[in-house]
Amino acid sequence: RTDDAEVVVFCVPSYACQRRTTLENHNTILTDALSLLAENAELSDQEGRSVAFRRAAAVMKALPGAVTGVTQLRGLPCLGEHSLRVIKDILETGASAEVESTKQSERYKALKVLTGIFGVGPKTAERWIREGIHTLQQLQDSGHTLNRAQQAGLQHYDDLNQPVAKAEADAIAEVVERAVVSVSPGAQVTLTGGFRRGKPTGHDVDFLITHPEEGGEDGLMSKVVSRLESQGFLLYQKTTRNSYLESKDGPARPASNMDRFERCFSIFKLHEDEGRGTGHPGTPTGNTAAANSGSPGDSDSRSQIHGGEQRLLVSGEDGGPEETKPAGHRPWRAVRVDLVVSPISQFAFALLGWTGSKLFERELRRWAGHEKTMSLSSHALYDNKQSRYLRATSEQEIFAHLGLEFIPPSERNA
Ligand code: DGT
Ligand code: MG
């Protein structure tokens, strides 16, 4: 018998939203390589290329075992010529020359450094690189006027480029929940983004806020932001109406009440307190509004909770006892936090839309459009054949409308 008979051939459906992708990845070398090429294409404003590499990486992430030879990949979807060549090079020689040279290129390195500044996108970075700016020092020396976001981004550069741990996300969740409940007792806060998918770390912390009564969310964002601001939690914030509506993949306006869909990009001040003794056990955070139950003696502006091995303290004030801090050690760090407010009527769509992963979201919309003649957004689902909106009060209902098997958040890590 031939070797071929023993080859395990993998088989996966072609849309990422038809697959279960957990955090367990058996092909990290391959997916890291493809993701790097995707990132480089994205930073170079080559969206088509970027999506092609991301889809290829997502297929490799979904495989139930490690790939050892290209023959195993026969029949897999989304693997274009380019991606297959990269995979083949790695399987046969241990590395891809294209990936290695990209990684080491001055251009890629400069794009990474500059877009690592909060508020700096690929276009701005590109413009600066053309002027010969490749480093933060060169940017500072250039005399460019930075906007408020970029100034904050530069000021907190190191903190914001350090991954956020789940324990830190939980500490921030407690503060956000308290602020929300204090300005609107019935309101609910849900941790979304990568942390809802079970990721142990993230680049930011994403929250979705809603109120069980339609319209009850009105004016909520500004109150929450004011509250957090007065407590000294915000190093930076900018509240906008949801820009997704104006973005190119947004569908036509589904309803008038979507004008209330607001987003706040912020930088939180997270106090870290490893040495302090007394704290109450961590309040489970996540999918429902937390009861406003601080431990006795906790002032409103601070909460101390267990976070894995660390003890974290989020504080509104600069101070707090610092005797135990080594000289030069800052007792806090900056963390990117995104807040989104959704009316309850759109909550399921917002929850699905803000849980990610980004590729999973993109694939859901592609599935809806190409396979079902529907338009999906984080506001609504429109059936173009029936010319009507399809209501949903849970993610399960949305998957059902789309004719898809329900995929839980932990399996949306495409
Ligand atoms: P992370 O933070 O790097 O660990 O990864 P994620 O998955 O939390 O990604 P993030 O924080 O960039 O975004 C969370 C989800 O929110 C993402 O899957 C897609 C969605 N999202 C991000 N930006 C927008 C936006 O402008 N509009 C809409 N509708 N959704 C967005
Ligand atoms: Mg996130």
CATH number at residue 126: 1.10.150.20
Shared-domain flag, residues 185 and 327: yes
Residues 306 and 391 in one domain: no
Q: Does 213 share its domain with 280?
A: yes
Gap between the Cα atoms of 406 and 400, Å rounded = 7
353 C-beta closer than 6 A to ligand 1: yes
Q: What is the pLDDT of residues 98-130, one digit of tens each?
A: 999 999 999 999 999 999 999 999 999 999 999
How far is residue 277 from each of residues 26, 237, 273, 310, 321, measured CA to CA in Å? 41, 32, 9, 11, 13
Q: Which atom of ligand 1 is nearest to the CA of 204?
A: 2
Q: Is 361 in the pocket of ligand 1 (CB under 6 A)?
A: yes
Residue 378 CA, closest ligand 1 atom number: 29
Look at residues 289, 315, 344 and tell me which one is the last residue of a structural domain. Answer: 344
Which one of 308, 328, 344 terminates a domain?
A: 344
Count of domains observed in the chain: 4
Closest atom of ligand 1 relative to the 338 alpha carbon: 11
Asked if residue 248 has pLDDT above 50, the reply is no
* Beta carbon of 316 within 6 Å of any ligand 1 atom: no
CATH number for the domain that contains residue 365: 3.30.210.10
301 ligand 1 Cβ < 6 A: no
Q: What is the pTM of this model?
A: 0.85
User: Do both 237 and 204 map to the same domain?
Assistant: yes
From the list 32, 298, 300, 338, the catalytic residue is: 338
DSSP secondary structure letter of residue 326: P
- Known active-site residue 338: yes
Domain of residue 375 covers 345-411
Distance CA 372, CA 110 (A): 42
Same domain, yes or no: 297 and 263: yes
Listed range (153-167, 241-255, 280-294, 359-373) with the worst mean pLDDT: 280-294
259 classed as catalytic: no
**Cβ 347 vs Cβ 210: under 8 Å:** yes
Say whether both 90 and 210 belong to one domain. no
Q: From the CB of 363, is ligand 1 less than 6 Å away?
A: no
Q: Is the pLDDT of residue 216 over 90?
A: yes
Residues 147 and 286 in one domain: no
Q: Same domain for 365 and 292?
A: no
Instruction: Respond yes or no: is residue 158 known to be catalytic.
Output: no
Let me know whether 267 and 208 are in one domain.
yes
pLDDT at 3: 52
Assess whether 317 and 372 both reside in one domain.
no
Is 321 found in the same domain as 357? no
> Are 265 and 205 in a shared domain?
yes
* Domain-terminating residue out of 120, 155, 190: 155
